[in-house]
A and B are shown apart, each in its own frame.
Chain A
């Protein structure tokens, strides 16, 4: 059973465009994280959100945690080629806060 569904799986857009990727689940999470992975490297943590409805901004990236703590979105404004990579969301369980599960990721390609 895939507990974290990410959409879209693949996205290819032109430099300068805006985009949103989604992470959805039927489970409630204690926290939710977004990672970016570039080829040949491990995932790198971008942000952690812990409060329902929380919004965090990291330069051109805006992360939102759903009110019910079951879903999240990542919005990128004016995408740049350097944003290219695999974006993974990961959730921590309410009753098992030491372990997180990962979605399968959204592979983003920004065309120059």
Chain B
């Protein structure tokens, strides 16, 4: 597609359950990023994939969070044993891999843990 696609757009889950969030980047974009945005807040960096390099996981808040990117394209962010503080909008972005080109963001997945 022409843009970054994220699914689901909304997810309500019970505390303690695992969730998977999906991101389909723009074709040809080598870099893929996951961010988290809590209500009324800025963007919190989570993880970054660039080509075949090892991912930059420096933003993951705990070992309950993990992500993979298969075939250099689709990425899945997994949150295990969800907690209420995980409730947020999870945004995915892709880029051509240089900061000057900017990022293209998806519309996000709104995760609510009840």
Q: What residues of chain A have their CB less than 8 Å away from a CB belonging to chain B?
A: 30-31, 33, 40-45, 48, 50, 88, 90-93, 97-105, 107
Knowing A42-B4, A42-B91, A42-B107, say if A102 contacts B97 (CB, 8 Å): no
Of all chain B residues, which has the CB nearest A2? B42
Query: What is the minimal beta-carbon distance from B72 to any residue of chain A, in angstroms?
Result: 15
A contact face: mostly helix, strand, loop, or mixed: strand
Of all chain B residues, which has the CB nearest A107? B40
Q: 1/0 per position for B77-114, CB-CB distance to A under 8 A? A: 00000000000000101010111111111111000000
Contact B42 A42 (CB under 8 A): no
Among B35, B50, B103, which residue has the most Cβ atoms of chain A within 10 A? B103
Interface presence of B48 (CB below 8 A): yes
Contact B99 A99 (CB under 8 A): yes
Interface presence of B20 (CB below 8 A): no
The number of residue pairs between A and B whose CB atoms lie closer than 8 Å in the complex comes to 62
Of all chain A residues, which has the CB nearest B37? A37
Among B43, B45, B93, which residue has the most Cβ atoms of chain A within 10 A? B43
Contact B98 A98 (CB under 8 A): yes
Interfacial chain A residues near B4, Cβ < 8 Å: 42
Q: What residues of chain B have their CB less than 8 Å away from a CB belonging to chain A?
A: 4, 31, 35, 40-43, 45, 48, 50, 56, 91, 93, 95, 97-108
Query: What is the minimal beta-carbon distance from A18 to any residue of chain B, in angstroms?
Result: 25
Contact A41 B56 (CB under 8 A): no
Interfacial chain A residues near B31, Cβ < 8 Å: 98
Knowing A98-B31, A99-B48, A102-B43, say if A40 contacts B102 (CB, 8 Å): no
Q: Complex Cα distance A80/B24, Å?
A: 34
Q: Complex Cα distance A97/B31, Å?
A: 12
Contact A40 B99 (CB under 8 A): no
Among B31, B91, B100, B106, which residue has the most Cβ atoms of chain A within 10 A? B100
Contact A44 B105 (CB under 8 A): yes
Q: Complex Cα distance A102/B99, Å?
A: 12
Task: List 13 extra interface pairs beyond A33-B102, A98-B48, CB under 8 A.
Answer: A42-B91, A42-B105, A43-B103, A43-B105, A48-B100, A92-B98, A92-B100, A98-B31, A98-B95, A99-B99, A100-B103, A102-B35, A102-B43
